[in-house]
């Protein structure tokens, strides 16, 4: 008889778990509170503009291909990827502009503009970054390791003590290789992928540049949300039942097991196994009602940062923008400390700016531009929350910065605008305190670990998504869903579900 699995939430982690489990022969139902799948992978169509509300960068395509292959399918039959070049354009207040390329000759030409010997520094850093990735990938990623003990059992001591840069911070690792302040800022801000601080994240997070330079940077043809559409077709092909507009209010439990879910309308659904794509802390608090003593043990899984997300449609094309852009703070260290230590709104944030029409002209009317702006800001402080006026003031500071540096007269050319605050992010996705990236990566708080994929309290309850190892970002949550399936299959074989 098929085991019944209920997946709570149709974000990418939940979808990946559902697809993987269905491919293994489980009977899978997915319950999603919103009226579309994708979670933070979302889209807004407004007056001819197509805004990607969530993720804008596609990396590590082989992890997505692996998901389709598990289901006996080919990813290219469901979606098409397009390479993005340059990867990023980096703007500094003094007028310096630096592009990042996968092509080594183009990259060398960019670095030679900044000074002699910088390409050699970059080449040495690339080797170091690749070594960090190779170590983490073979265990933490591919085997789905969940804690220090599993690391110690899997890895040779030489990997942990000598090859993996585990004692310092990401910032210190970057400064060991780069002498140029522009490059220090640029490579420190690769931490944007996980919404953390380079000053606090472990040094092995310097694996992230290798991901980009080795596996390239991509765009999903016709818009990032086409990934969700492709996955919906895959789920339909596997006959996975998706219940949209079905908010889960409780996870039912009995002793050390969970028994199913209770919906907003009061109906219950039984299950042999429950997988929650709702973040770990909100799930334990809101869906399971766990006591304060238990919740205190989860405090090390502090939320990653949130963001103020501006979607701007302009009646002018800003030709100096690439597809992906960064506008750097004049003091990056101060920016990190303001957001991640003091938990205050930054007065001079580093901005991530996306102009997808560089790759896909259909995302704006002719002669217009589609611009998304995202500064990292603190997650919601329930005791001292920021107001709508505070976020509106920050929006004005952001526009000031863009007009001052590279987009003159931006305000007068905005014809469509949409803004999301941490409150909107929390309300729409039930993310912990409005976090965009799940759990923060902090050397002192959690050594970069996220919550484990299997509940420590209920043997047949599992978690997937950005709050769970290996963490936030589209490829990581898709990998997480697959690793959750692998763990369930192993535990089923051992008879570990009560």
> How far is Cα 213 from Cα 122, in angstroms, rounded to an integer?
11
> How far is Cα 370 from Cα 159, in angstroms, rounded to an integer?
45
Full-model pTM: 0.97
Predicted local confidence at residue 117, as pLDDT: 96
Largest CA-CA distance found in the chain, in angstroms, rounded: 68
- Burial of 479 from C-beta contacts in 10 A (0-12 / 13-18 / 19+): buried
Sheet containing 273-276, strands listed edge to edge, beginning at the edge strand earlier in sequence: 241-243, 27-31, 4-8, 273-276, 461-463
Instruction: List, in order of start, the domains of the chain with CATH numbers.
Output: 4-42+58-76+226-300+450-494 (3.50.50.60)
Residue ranges with strand state E in 272-406: 273-276, 306-307, 309-314, 324-327, 351-354, 369-377
Task: Please name which of 389, 393, 357, 363 lies closest in space to residue 375, comparing C-alpha atoms.
Answer: 393
- Burial of 466 from C-beta contacts in 10 A (0-12 / 13-18 / 19+): buried
Give the residue carrying structure tokens 């996968």.
102
Predicted local confidence at residue 497, as pLDDT: 82
> How far is Cα 227 from Cα 79, in angstroms, rounded to an integer?
7
Cα 61 to Cα 75, 227, 346, 365, distances in angstroms: 10, 11, 34, 30
Predicted local confidence at residue 87, as pLDDT: 98
Q: Which residues of the chain have pLDDT under 50?
A: none
* CB neighbour list of residue 112: distance below 8 Å, 6 or more residues apart: 118, 119
Predicted local confidence at residue 2, as pLDDT: 84
Q: In this structure, are residues 308 and 374 in contact, taking their beta carbons and an 8 Å threshold?
A: yes
For the stretch 215-274, pLDDT in tens is 999 999 999 999 999 999 999 999 999 999 999 999 999 999 999 999 999 999 999 999
Predicted local confidence at residue 395, as pLDDT: 98
Tokens of 316: 């002018």
Predicted local confidence at residue 498, as pLDDT: 63
DSSP run (H or E) holding 88 = strand 88-91
* CB neighbour list of residue 102: distance below 8 Å, 6 or more residues apart: 83, 85, 87, 212, 213, 216, 217
Number of Cα atoms under 13 Å in the Cβ half of residue 61: 17
- Burial of 477 from C-beta contacts in 10 A (0-12 / 13-18 / 19+): buried
Q: Sort strands 241-243 and 309-314 into parallel, antiparallel or unpaired.
A: unpaired
Q: What is the DSSP letter of 58?
A: B
> How far is Cα 278 from Cα 435, in angstroms, rounded to an integer?
12
Predicted local confidence at residue 440, as pLDDT: 97
> How far is Cα 361 from Cα 49, in angstroms, rounded to an integer?
10
> How far is Cα 355 from Cα 375, in angstroms, rounded to an integer?
15
Tokens of 50: 């197509």
């Amino acid at each position: 008889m098929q085991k019944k699995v209920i997946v709570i939430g149709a974000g990418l982690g939940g979808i990946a778990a559902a697809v993987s489990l269905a491919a293994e022969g489980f009977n899978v139902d997915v319950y999603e509170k919103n009226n579309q799948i994708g979670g933070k992978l979302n889209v807004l169509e407004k007056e001819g503009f197509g805004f990607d509300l969530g993720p804008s960068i596609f990396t590590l395509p082989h992890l997505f291909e692996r998901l389709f292959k598990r289901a006996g399918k080919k990813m290219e039959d469901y979606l098409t990827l397009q390479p993005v070049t340059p990867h990023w354009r980096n703007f500094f207040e003094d007028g310096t502009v630096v592009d990042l390329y996968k092509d080594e000759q183009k990259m060398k030409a960019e670095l030679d503009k900044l000074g002699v010997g910088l390409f050699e520094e970059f080449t040495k850093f690339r080797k170091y970054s690749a070594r960090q990735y190779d170590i983490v990938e073979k265990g933490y990623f591919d085997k789905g390791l969940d804690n220090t003990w599993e690391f110690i059992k899997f890895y040779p001591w030489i990997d942990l003590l000598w090859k993996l840069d585990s004692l310092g911070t990401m910032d210190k690792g970057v400064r060991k290789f780069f002498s140029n302040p522009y490059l220090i800022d640029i490579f420190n801000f690769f931490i944007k992928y996980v919404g953390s601080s380079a000053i606090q994240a472990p040094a092995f997070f310097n694996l992230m540049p290798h991901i980009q330079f080795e596996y390239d940077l991509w765009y999903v043809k016709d818009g990032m949300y086409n990934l969700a559409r492709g996955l919906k077709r895959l789920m339909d092909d596997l006959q996975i039942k998706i219940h949209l507009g079905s908010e889960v209010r409780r996870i039912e439990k009995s002793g050390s097991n969970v028994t199913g879910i209770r919906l907003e309308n009061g109906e219950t659904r039984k299950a042999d196994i429950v997988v929650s794509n709702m973040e770990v802390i909100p799930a334990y608090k809101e869906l399971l009602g766990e006591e304060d003593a238990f919740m205190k043990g989860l405090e090390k899984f502090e939320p990653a940062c949130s963001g103020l997300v501006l979607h701007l449609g302009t009646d002018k094309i800003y030709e100096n923008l690439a597809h992906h852009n960064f506008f750097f703070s004049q003091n990056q260290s101060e920016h990190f400390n303001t957001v991640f230590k003091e938990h205050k709104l930054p007065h001079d944030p580093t901005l991530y700016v996306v102009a997808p029409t560089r790759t896909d002209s259909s995302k704006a009317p002719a002669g217009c531009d589609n611009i998304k702006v995202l500064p990292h800001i603190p997650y919601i402080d329930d005791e001292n929350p920021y107001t709508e006026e505070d976020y509106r003031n920050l929006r004005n500071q952001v526009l000031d910065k863009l007009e001052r540096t590279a987009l003159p007269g931006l305000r007068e050319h905005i014809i469509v605008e949409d803004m999301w605050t941490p409150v909107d992010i929390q309300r729409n996705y039930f993310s912990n305190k409005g976090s965009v990236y799940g759990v923060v990566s902090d050397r002192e708080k959690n050594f970069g670990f996220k919550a484990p994929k299997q509940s420590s309290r209920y043997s047949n309850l599992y978690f997937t998504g950005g709050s769970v190892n290996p963490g936030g970002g589209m490829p990581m949550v898709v990998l997480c869903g697959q690793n959750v399936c692998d763990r369930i299959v192993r535990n089923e074989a051992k008879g570990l579900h009560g």
